[in-house]
Chain A
C-alpha cells in the first residue's frame, strides 16, 4: 500500500503564477518530509524539507506547508519559471529523516512561458 500519495500526475501553470503541488501520507510515524525535483535522464535533486515540529518552511521561491492533522503537505512555487518544469517527488521518513525515505509517484509540473 502506498504510504506517500501524490494523486495528481501532472500540473500545468503559466510562468509567473503560483504552482501548488500536493502530497498526502498515511503513516503517522513519519516526522520528516522532503521534496525532490527530477529532470529527465537525471537523478532527483533535493529541493526543500520540513520537520513535523514545523508547519511551514521557506527557501526563496519554494515554500512547504505541513498539516499534520490532515496528513497533508504541499509545495508552493512562486513565481513559477519555465526552468521549474520537472517531475516533483514527495518523500517521507521517520526518526527525523535518519531512516530510509518513502517516495510518492511524482507529479510532472510544466510551466509555460
Chain B
C-alpha cells in the first residue's frame, strides 16, 4: 500500500498549457522532494522542502514551481508547458536519516 501518492500517472498535454502535478503523503514526513528523470539518466533534484512554507530549488534548473502549504501536500506547477518538459517526475518524502519513500511518478509528455 503506497503511502505517497502522485497524480496523474500519465499526462499528455499541449504546448503552452498550465499543469500541476500532485503529490501527497500520509506519513507525516517533514522533508519532500521532486526529482526529474529522463530515460537512462540519473534522477535530478529539481525542488525540495524541509517543512511547511519552506521550498528550495534543487541542483537541476527547472522552470517549474512548488508550494508547501500543508505537510502532506507538495504540488509542482508548470505555468506554460513545453516539449522540453517531457520527462518523468518523481516525488519523494523522508524523515530523519531514513531513506526516501517515492511515489509512482508522473510521466509527462508535452506535444
B40 and A105 within 8 A (CB): yes
On chain B, which size bracket covers the interface?
20 to 34
Q: Which 10 A-B pairs have the closest CB atoms?
A: A43-B102, A97-B97, A103-B43, A46-B99, A105-B42, A103-B42, A44-B102, A43-B104, A96-B97, A98-B97
The total number of A-B Cβ pairs within 8 Å is 57
Confirm or deny: B33 has a beta carbon within 8 angstroms of a beta carbon on chain A.
yes
Residue in contact with A43 in the complex, picked from B45, B58, B99, B105, CB distance below 8 Å: B105
Q: Residue on B with the closest CB to A44? A: B102
Which residues on B sit within 8 Å (CB–CB) of A100?
33, 45, 48, 58
* B102 contact from A4, A45, A96, A98, Cβ within 8 A: A45
Q: Which residues of A are at the interface with B, using a C-beta cutoff of 8 A?
A: 2, 4, 9, 32, 34, 36, 41-46, 49, 89, 96-98, 100-106
CA distance A93 to B80 in the complex (A): 33
> A36-B102, A44-B102 known; 9 other A-B pairs, CB under 8 Å?
A9-B40, A41-B107, A43-B6, A43-B102, A44-B100, A45-B102, A46-B101, A104-B42, A105-B42
Chain B residues closer than 8 Å to A4, beta-carbon distance = 42
CB-defined A-B contacts under 8 Å, sample of 25: A2-B42, A32-B97, A34-B99, A41-B105, A41-B107, A42-B105, A43-B4, A43-B6, A43-B90, A43-B105, A45-B102, A46-B100, A49-B99, A89-B42, A89-B43, A97-B99, A98-B97, A100-B33, A100-B48, A101-B45, A101-B99, A102-B59, A103-B42, A104-B42, A105-B41
